[in-house]
Amino acid sequence: MSEPSPEVHRALEAILFLADEPLSVTVLAQAVETGRREVEAVLRELAEGYAERRSGISLKEVAGGWRLMPHPEAAPYVEQFILSTRHARLTKASLETLAIVAYKQPVTRHQVSSIRGVDSEGVLRALMERGLL
């Protein structure tokens, strides 16, 4: 078996970084057009590398696939960060959008954008993520 290329390492790491759920070796092998054995070897190498460097992230095999996740020792900091961003002040655009929704409901995304005169997709998404819509 030949040594996997640096591009395979890079590609797997990038795909895992973007994934929002564990990815199976089969899915990853198809994505990087490499054999399952090579992908498994790279995944184990990446996981060991994160552990050896005492990185803030770890690569774990969970739920039938592989996933990048925060290291458990970083949990208090991650939790504090998540909670602080949820309590951040609302932007003018967010407040304006909330006012339109409150006044006009039920209202569509298109109607909100039309009333504001600008594309409101990002603002609406942010408000939904914060549980305000």
**Model pLDDT, residue 67:** 95
pLDDT at 1 exceeding the cut of 60: no
Confidence of residue 87 (pLDDT cuts 50, 70, 90): low
Cα-only R_g, the chain? 21
The pTM score is 0.62
CA distance 91 to 94: 5
Three-class HEC string of 24-81? CHHHHHHHHCCCHHHHHHHHHHHHHHHHHCCCCEEEEEECCEEEEEECHHHHHHHHHH
**Model pLDDT, residue 86:** 64
Q: What is the DSSP letter of 20?
A: S
**Model pLDDT, residue 105:** 87
Q: Work out the average pLDDT over 40-49.
A: 96
Q: Work out the average pLDDT over 97-116.
A: 91
pLDDT tens sequence across 12-27: 999 999 998 999 999 9
**Model pLDDT, residue 60:** 95
Confidence of residue 84 (pLDDT cuts 50, 70, 90): confident
CA distance 25 to 94: 41
Residue carrying structure tokens 């929002």: 20
What structural domains does the chain harbor?
6-74 (1.10.10.10), 89-129 (1.10.10.10)
Q: Tokens for 6, please give them.
A: 């640096």
- Counting Cα atoms < 13 Å in the Cβ hemisphere of 76 gives 1
Q: Work out the average pLDDT over 44-53.
A: 96
CA distance 100 to 124: 11
